[in-house]
Amino acid sequence: MIYLLLGFVMGVFFAHGTVAQAGSSHSLKFGPSGLGNGGTNPIDIPPNGGQIEYTYVSDGGVETNIGLVPGILVGGRMERGSWYMSLGGGLLVDAIGVGFGVYNGFGYVTGSGPGWHWNFEYKQSIAPDLEGGGFITPSAARVGIIWK
């Protein structure tokens, strides 16, 4: 739980004040997940449930990520041109276990202004494994569309 709080505090700190988030956005991304059992498999056609993630970013730069892997995550997003970085915490899941931890995302959005754009993102995360001890480190590399 301390990791969840730490991640949330980090995310809020990160988002507060200097976040250059240009309006709210919705994105739907697809791509394979790193489940803690070696390299990732290619994405399925159509993608399976563990390869889909929805993200909502508020006007204030607070993002909410919903997906099976890495998990349910809340954090802050900072944009720098077409690039962004996010930092926060939440419930993490991989093939080894489940835990509350922190995540760190890196993304790129094509184009600018309102409308549909392509979105590429990589997320890394870590949490203590609540089931078996040790750590879980789910990750994901995804491509999708973002609506600003």
Partner 1 sequence: MVKNNLKTKKIIEALIFGALTLGWIWALPLSAAGLSVGLIAVEEGGDQFRPGATAVLRPWDGAFLDLSLWGREYGKVVERSGLLAAGGEAQVKGILYIRFGGSILAESTRIKEAKTNPDSLTDSEKSDFSETSYAPGFMVGSSLKILNSGPIQVEAQWNSHVYPAGVAGGLFLAHGRRQTFTILGGIDL
Binding site for partner 1 (CB under 8 A): 14, 17-18, 31-32, 34, 36-43, 78, 80, 83, 85, 87, 94, 96, 104, 106, 122, 124, 129, 134-137, 139, 141-143
Q: Which is nearer to partner 1, 114 or 118 (CB)?
A: 118
Q: Which is nearer to partner 1, 103 or 115 (CB)?
A: 103
Helix (H) or strand (E) holding 13: helix 2-15
Output the smallest distance, CB 123 to partner 1, in A: 9
The answer to whether the CB of 64 falls within 8 A of the CB of 91 is no
DSSP, residue by residue, 77-130: EEEETTEEEEEEEEEEE-SS-EEEEEEEEEEEE-S-SSSEEEEEEEEEEEEE-T
Q: Which is nearer to partner 1, 30 or 148 (CB)?
A: 30
| CA separation for the pair 22, 71 (Å, rounded) | 25
Output the smallest distance, CB 66 to partner 1, in A: 19
Output the smallest distance, CB 71 to partner 1, in A: 14
Tell me the three state secondary structure of residue 58: coil
Output the smallest distance, CB 116 to partner 1, in A: 20
What is the phi/psi pair of residue 11, to 5°? -65, -45
Q: Which is nearer to partner 1, 10 or 74 (CB)?
A: 10
